[in-house]
Every structure is written in structure tokens, then in C-alpha cells.
Amino acid sequence: MKIAATERQRILLVGGALSLIGGVSALLIGAVNALTAPVIAANDLAAQETAMKAVYGDFASASSPILIGGSSYVSKFWVALDQENNALGYIYRADGKNKYGSIALLVGVYGASSSPILGRIALISDTETFKEKLEDGYVDPYNADPTATNLGDTTCGATHGATLIEDMAVEAKGIYDGSVAVTFTDASGSSYTPSSVSYSSNVNSGSSPGSASVDTSAGGTVG
Amino acid sequence: MDNIRRHQHQESFVSGIISNNPLFVMVLGTCPALAITTTMEAAFGMGLLFLFVLVSSNVLISLLRKIIPEEIKTPSNIVVIATFVTIVKMFCSAYLPALYNSLGVFLSLLVVNCIVLGRAEAFADQNGVFDSFLDGMGNGIGYTLALCVIALIREILGTGYLTIGVIFTFIPYFRLPVLKALDGSYDYSMNLFASPMGGFVVFGLLMALMQLWNLKKKAAEREAAIAKIHLAAKEGA
């Protein structure tokens, strides 16, 4: 089938106009991204540090992050240290999405690898539609109770968001005790299989965190 | 001629603020209006970002209206609006992170906001750049004012306070006790107004008031027109 010259011209005009608009938009977005990306990264880092302090009250510093592969939500973890360089526990970073928005959080896990204990949860970002209900009815009550080690009822008025947080916490605990199969990569890029990672040698085995001394370099603490 | 043009410009700007307010009269953009009006600061921030997106997209769409072929007007408009929303999101995330977190998904949803898309299709596509700019300003200010009025009522009735400096962190933190004492000695706040249901109630009441005002205005205009006709008839007789 042959396309008429006028039709071809029309197609080219429409294609050209769309390409022009798309190109200009891409340039504009690229320029603004180059301008704002470092500021956004610095904001995220500051928010992450604040969140780490919320997970462990005695938090002073963290080891280099260990990247986690093959998991649904958890992307990395750190060993949290107090001022005397004692290990407080692990901090896991988890990101999740559902139809109401997305959540990024840090969750603490400590104790013996055979019976891990869930620490506090700190939200880094929460774009859920029912974020107030989720935070006031689910996250805040758990964090406010120092004796609580299990998350509450997910039917808090923001069931989907609460279930997402619960799933993230369960996965972090699973990675800690080895029941969730994942891969680990340290700061130098070396990969480890889960079986080569010894948790209990790094984090105290008692129920209250903060006794074991930890080498702050990632390679020394894990693997 | 100049007078007619000036009147057109004035009409483009003013109609969006009161007589054709996008929220209270046209009932557009109601989802964010109910979701983010729990605090005055979030509502004001949303209003400003909305104003920027609306004015920028109106101006650019009006500029491009003679270049863009008819059959791709709508996709082109969506690309232009999405570009400005993405830019606003990036700037907001970088320089106003508290506002960014507070608005959540509703900032991204500006791409499909009926008002932005509606003004682009109904006005900017058919009018000059200056008129489109004024139309964007009028509708943007009208929407911002509407959000702020709802938020002011909801925040005061729902929390008992008017709080400033939580989202715009460059402003010193200030909490004005209106219905609830800072020391808790009295508390007349009603949690209902902080919930979505309270949002619907406030929105409905304000819409009714706006309708009443518009009806009274129309009735007064009709009376004046009838009086004018009677006077002309009398003079003719």
C-alpha cells in the first residue's frame, strides 16, 4: 500500500511535533534533575540518620551498608553502634509499594539469630493515602510501647499500609534468622551466600542489645 | 476596543477566583481538596504548587497552540502538564521535603487534575498567551483560596490549634490555641473535622454558601435588568 505524499507529510509533521515536545520535556526534566538530585540525596541521608536514631535510642554510628539481593522489600542493612562502638543490633532498609502509595522505612532487629527480636520502626517516607491513620494507629503505638516486640493488629483503618509494613518487618526478621534466602554484597562488591553470613557473631545474643564489640568495616562484620 | 479587551482580561482573571471557582462552583479537583486540607500549611503549599503548574502549562500550551496539529493536542497537553508536575515534584522534594512528604501521591496526581487539563483544553488551546496566563492565575488563586478556607476550618475545628512552621520549616514554629489550650485545661476540638468525613461536611457547607451567594447575585442582577427595562419603557411612553 502506497501512502500519498500529503498523508506522508502529515504523518511527518505530527511525528515531528510529538518528538519536539518530548525532547524539550526530557531536556527540561534532565536539567532540573541534575540541579536537584544532589540536594535530594543529601536530604535522604539526613532523614536516614534521623531514622536510625529513632530505631535505636543509643545510636551513634553505623557500619558500611551490606546490600541485599533477592528479597522483596529489604535492600540493605547496617550494624548499628553506640558511642563505645558496641553493637546495638541490625538496621534494615525496606521499600514497598501498594495501590495506596509507597513506604520506605528502617526497622531494627536484634537478639539471637534463632529468636530475633523486632526493634523500633522509623518511617523515612510514607506516601500512603491513609498515612495519618497508618502512623497514628499502627506505627506510633508500636514504637511508643517499649515492651512491644510484635506489631499490632493491621486492621487500624489503613489495613493495606499496615500489612505492607508488617510484610517488610517479617522479611527483615527472616533475613536476620536466615529463613529468607537472599544474597549479600559488601561495600567492596564481594558477594556472599547467606550461609556464609554469621549474625550471632556480630550482634549480641541477649534480648537487650548493646554488648558485643563490632568492627565497623562491612567486610569485618559480615562474612 | 481597548475597553473590551481590558474587560476580557479582567474576566479571565476574576471569574476563576469567585464566580467560576474551580472547587466550589465547578466542583473540580475535589480529591486533593478533601485529602490534603487537614492542615493549613499543606493546603497552602499544595495551592502554590498547583498555581505554578497551572500557570506554566497554560502559558506553554497557549504558545504552542498554532504549532501542534489538532489530532495530537490532548497527548501534547498531557506531556506539557506532566513535565511541569515532574519539575515541581523535584524542586519540592529537594527544597521543601516536609511538604513533599505531606502531599504524598496527590502531588503526582496533578498530572491528571481536571482543572489543569480542563483549562488547557478549554481555554489555553483557544486563547492568547496573556489571557491564558491570567486564566491560570485566576483559577490557581481561586483553588488555593478554596483549599485554604477548607483547611483553616478543618484544622481549627479538628485539632483545636492553628499550627505554622511544621511544613514550611523556614518559618518559626508557632501554635495558636483556638479551641484547645496548650496546657490542656480546655479542649473544644472535634476530631471528626480532621477525618475525611469532616472534610466532606466542610466542603459541602462552603459549596452551599457559595451557591447561595451566586444565586443572590444573579437575582440582584435580574432585578436590576428588569428595573432598567421598566425605566426604559416609562421613558419611551
Helix (H) or strand (E) holding B174: strand B174-177
A105 burial via Cβ count (<10 Å: 0-12, 13-18, 19+): buried
What is the DSSP annotation of B51-89?
A: HHHHHHHHHHHHHHTTTS-GGGHHHHHHHHHHHHHHHHH
CB contact (8 A) between residue B80 and residue A25: yes
Residue range A209-218: mean pLDDT, rounded: 37
Looking at beta carbons, which residues of chain B come within 8 Å of A35? 94
Q: Which residue of A has its CA nearest to B38?
A: A132
Q: What is the DSSP letter of A200?
A: T
Of the candidates A28, A39, A126, the beta carbon closest to that of B95 is on A39
How would residue A1 be classed by pLDDT, with cut points 50, 70 and 90? low
Q: What is the pLDDT of residues A155-210, one digit of tens each?
A: 888 899 999 999 999 999 999 988 898 888 877 777 765 443 344 434 433 333 33
- Strand A74-81 versus strand B161-164 pairing type: unpaired
CB contacts, 8 Å: B38 with chain A: 132
| Cβ atoms < 10 Å from Cβ of B11 | 16
Whether residue A129 lies within 8 A of chain B, CB to CB, comes out as yes
pLDDT at A210: 37
Closest CA to A100 of B216, B182, B100, B108: B108
- How many structural domains compose chain B? 1
d(CA A146, CA A144): 6
What is the span of the domain harbouring residue B32?
Answer: 2-236
Determine, for residues A39 and B83 on separate chains, whether the beta-carbon distance falls below 8 Å. Answer: no
Sign of CA dihedral B213, B215, B221, B227: negative
State how far residue B76 is from chain A, nearest Cα, in angstroms.
7
- Is some CB atom of chain B closer than 8 A to the CB atom of A47? yes
Residue stretches of chain B with pLDDT short of 70:
1, 237
pLDDT of residue B1: 57
The pLDDT of residue B12? 77
Q: How far apart are CA A183 and CA B166, in angstroms?
A: 41
Q: Which three cell numbers stand for residue A7?
A: 498523508
CA dihedral B195, B196, B202, B205 (to 10 degrees): -140
Instruction: Write out pLDDT tens, residues A54-79.
Output: 999 889 888 888 899 989 999 999 99
pLDDT at position A208 is: 37
**CA separation for the pair A49, A146 (Å, rounded):** 21
Q: What is the pLDDT of residue A215?
A: 35
pLDDT tens digit sequence for A112-157: 888 889 999 999 888 887 888 899 889 999 999 888 888 888 888 8
* A14 at B interface, C-beta within 8 A: yes
Residue A193's pLDDT is 54
| Per-residue cell: B25 | 462552583
Check if the beta carbon of residue B35 is closer than 8 Å to that of residue B196: yes
Q: For chain B, say whether A45 makes contact (Cβ under 8 Å).
A: no
Q: Is the pLDDT of residue A220 over 70?
A: no
Contact B105 A28 (CB under 8 A): no
Residues 6+ away with beta carbon under 8 Å from B18? B142
Across the interface, which of A17, A36, A131 has its CB nearest the CB of B67?
A17
A101 touches chain B (CB under 8 A): yes
Q: Could B76 and A128 be called an inter-chain contact, meaning their C-beta atoms sit closer than 8 Å?
A: no
Give the per-residue pLDDT at B144: 96
Please answer yes or no on whether B68 and A17 come within 8 Å at the CB atom.
yes
Contact A199, A176 (CB under 8 A): yes
Contact indicator for A113, A178 with CB cutoff of 8 Å: yes
Q: Is the pLDDT of residue A97 over 60?
A: yes
Q: Which residues of A151-190 are buried (b: 16+ CB within 10 A; e: fewer)?
A: beebebebbebbebbbbbbbbbbbbbebebebebbbeeee
Task: Pick A29's closest partner by Cβ from B69, B87, B93.
Answer: B87
Beta-strand ranges (E) seen in A49-206 are 61-62, 66-69, 74-81, 87-98, 101-110, 117-126, 183-185, 191-192
